[in-house]
Copies of this chain bind each other. A is one copy, B any other.
Amino acid sequence: MKYHKIPDEAVRRLPFYLRGLLPLSEQGRKNISSHDLAYLLGFNHWQIRKDFSYFGSFGTPGMGYNIEKLIRQIRKILKLNVVRKAALVGVGNLGLAVLRYPGFRIYGFEVAAAFDNDPKKIGRKIGNITVEDVSNLRTLQKRKIDFGIITVPCEAAQQTFDALVRAGVKGILSFSPCHKTGPEKVKVITIDIAMDLVRLPYYTPASRAAKG
């Protein structure tokens, strides 16, 4: 392994590899080749090898990859070798959906706190999380919660964003496109449902009527 600037796209694929590997590990399987893993996930085998090669040499020629070891390595690369905690702000439908989503745990992630500014919601329990007033955001650092999830309506997005940054989080997953993401040192990943939906028609072939 030589020095390479690691493509962001390679990092983006690592969780996919993890998702594919974890069930295999549970089934007790020991090894897998890049070819088989690629088939399983719908990737190319050379891309999988290349991606891993950016981070080190994890396989054995002729044998493939030891699944347990590979999982450990990917966890380490993604800094998921300790449980990471996130705070969610905005307990509406979307917030509830995220809070109840069971899929974070397998990666070693935990949504550990929830905040809202609606007195009717504060105090409510979702699973083992009690909704807190947003003013409590300042306690995040003390509680070792390093990540924020924004699920508030558009109007409240900017102030929520600022509050999370002030609270000292290191990264934010935002479901709102309604805040500026300045040149902060906080990594922000934005998901905009509408924008993803809206570009589907572009990819559809012309209608039959138009074609005659």
Contact = CB atoms under 8 A, between A and B. Distances in A.
Interface in A96-116: 96-98, 100-101, 103-104, 107, 109
A64 interface: no
Contacts of A97: 92-94, 96-97
A84 interface: yes
Interface string A149-192: 10000100000000000000011110001001100010101011
Given A93-B97, A191-B191, A173 B201 contact: no
Contact of A149 (B92, B180, B197): B197
B191 A204 contact: no
A120 B197 CA distance: 28
A14 B199 contact: yes
A12 interface: yes
Contact of A193 (B79, B101, B199): B101
Most buried by B among A98, A193, A201: A201
A163 to B, nearest CB: 18
Given A42-B181, A101-B193, A193-B191, A198 B78 contact: yes
Nearest to A12: B199
Contact of A147 (B109, B181, B187, B197): B197
| Smallest CB-CB A-B distances: 7 pairs | A171-B200, A93-B97, A94-B97, A187-B203, A79-B201, A170-B204, A103-B194
Given A80-B198, A101-B193, 4 more contacts: A78-B199, A79-B204, A171-B200, A187-B200
Interface of A: 11-12, 14-16, 19, 42, 77-80, 84, 86, 92-94, 96-98, 100-101, 103-104, 107, 109, 146-147, 149, 154, 170-173, 177, 180-181, 185, 187, 189, 191-205
10 contacts: A15-B199, A79-B204, A84-B200, A92-B97, A93-B96, A103-B192, A170-B201, A173-B197, A187-B200, A189-B199
